[in-house]
């Protein structure tokens, strides 16, 4: 029997005997980061701002001010530095008479010289929570640590029996906490949200240091990329005059109007009458940093919301539609004319939503 003494220094030399060879490339950077944190090697701590008034947590410029973002950005440019963010927040039970209590979690970030895409590693009171639905970041190794306290209790209540993810509909969690689902997303998306804010710190700083941190999936086509992510085509600035474009084709008729409303969206019929009855299929999901539309829709999870059960969203409202069918993140219906409307609200205001609408004409002899 071989005996190993494991400490912050020797653990690096013993990984080969402690882990399968295939897992060493994944775990070695995390082990090194964790041991350096424990040994307080080149760790720079910055405390983010707890709101003066108790409210739900939000990654915004009040929480990480531009000044703090610039400090974080500056430290991450220093070789070998570990940035330690202390992230305070309020936890409030829904019990009668309960008052908000302060809690926090710790985030540790360091540059990754391999420039690989990695998911953050979450550790709650010594238990590693894999959390598959987390965006990767490129160029950084990251740990999110939740020690004992109100936040650790909240997250522990939401964990499934296998301790693999935080579930918003867990029996011990559902309806127990004010801002509960928002708090889970606040922690789950903390690394990508923090890095986003850092890249928007001081407008005079060189943002290129953080410009490549996000894992980007290859879009299936340009149509799959949200409009706000498409780069505008540069105008021809050369000396040659631009060729006269041919007469543009007739625009395709639009069969619906999609509009954003507070915490949701509304789908209406077009302004012009429908030429024939139509069927509609709508898919909804929360957006993910760097994901295409198709990818974001694939990442939908039942714990985000469920339209058919009005879970974590308001009950869908529909007028002048037929054959309405609701799924977890889908809506199907038919309409005879353009006077229809489908409205859904109650989504998390701190997250963007992706809405995909598909429509096709029904044969005139079809019953709808």
Grouping H, G, I as helix, E, B as strand and the rest as coil, residue 350 is coil
Helix (H, G, I), strand (E, B) or coil at 22: helix
- Which of 25, 65, 42, 48 lies closest to 111, judged by CA? 42
Q: What is the pLDDT along the chain (368 residues), one digit of tens a residue?
A: 667 676 666 666 666 667 667 776 677 778 888 888 887 888 999 999 999 999 999 999 999 999 999 999 999 888 889 999 999 999 999 999 999 999 999 999 998 877 678 889 999 999 999 887 788 888 899 999 999 899 999 999 999 888 899 998 889 999 999 999 999 999 999 999 999 898 875 444 443 344 333 333 333 344 444 444 444 444 555 556 666 666 655 556 678 999 888 889 999 999 888 889 999 999 999 887 556 788 888 888 888 899 999 988 999 999 999 999 999 999 999 999 999 999 999 998 877 888 999 999 987 655 44
Q: Where are the domains of the chain?
A: 42-210, 254-361
What are the helix and strand counts (H, E) for the chain? 7, 17
State how far Cα 159 lies from the chain centre. Answer: 19
> What percent of the residues of the chain are helix, what percent strand, and what percent coil, each to the nearest 5?
20, 25, 50
Contact predicate 255/268, CB 8 Å: no
Give the pTM: 0.60
For residues 275 and 255, what is the distance between their CA atoms, to the nearest angstrom? Answer: 10
Do 62 and 197 meet the contact criterion of CB atoms below 8 Å apart? no
CATH for 254-361, options being 2.60.40, 3.30.310, 2.40.50, 3.10.450: 2.60.40
Per the CB < 8 A criterion, the answer to whether 167 and 135 are in contact is no
Structure tokens at 335: 């309409």
């Amino acid at each position: 029997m071989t005996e190993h003494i494991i400490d912050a220094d020797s653990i690096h030399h013993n990984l080969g005997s402690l882990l399968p060879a295939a897992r060493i490339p994944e775990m070695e950077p995390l082990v090194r980061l964790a041991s350096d944190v424990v040994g307080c090697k080149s760790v720079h701590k910055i405390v983010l701002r707890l709101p003066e008034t108790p409210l739900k947590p939000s990654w915004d410029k009040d929480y990480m001010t531009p000044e703090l973002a610039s400090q974080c950005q500056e430290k991450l440019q220093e070789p070998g530095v570990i940035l330690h963010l202390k992230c305070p927040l309020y936890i409030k039970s829904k019990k009668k008479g309960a008052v908000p209590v302060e809690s926090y979690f710790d985030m540790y970030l360091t540059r990754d010289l391999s420039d690989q895409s990695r998911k953050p590693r979450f550790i709650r009171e010594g238990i590693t929570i894999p959390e598959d639905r987390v965006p990767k970041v490129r160029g950084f190794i990251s740990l999110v640590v939740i020690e004992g306290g109100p936040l650790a209790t909240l997250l522990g209540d939401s964990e499934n029996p296998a301790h693999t993810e935080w579930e918003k509909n867990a029996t011990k969690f559902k309806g127990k906490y004010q801002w509960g689902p928002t708090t889970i997303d606040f922690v789950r998306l903390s690394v990508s949200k923090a890095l986003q804010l850092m890249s928007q710190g001081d407008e005079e700083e060189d943002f290129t240091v953080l410009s490549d941190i996000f894992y980007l999936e290859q879009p299936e086509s340009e149509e799959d990329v949200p409009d706000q992510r498409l780069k505008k085509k540069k105008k021809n600035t050369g000396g040659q005059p631009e060729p006269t474009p041919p007469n543009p084709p007739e625009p395709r008729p639009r069969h619906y109007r999609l509009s954003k409303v507070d915490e949701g969206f509304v789908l209406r019929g077009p302004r012009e009458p429908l030429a024939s009855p139509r069927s509609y299929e709508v898919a909804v999901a929360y957006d993910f940093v760097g994901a295409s539309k198709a990818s974001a829709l694939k990442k939908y999870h039942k714990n985000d919301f469920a339209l058919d059960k009005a879970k974590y969203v308001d009950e869908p409202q529909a007028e002048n539609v037929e054959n309405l069918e609701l799924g977890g993140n889908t809506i199907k219906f038919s309409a005879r004319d353009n006077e229809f409307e489908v409205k859904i609200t109650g989504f998390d205001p701190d997250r963007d939503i992706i809405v995909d609408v598909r429509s096709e004409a029904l044969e005139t002899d079809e019953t709808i």
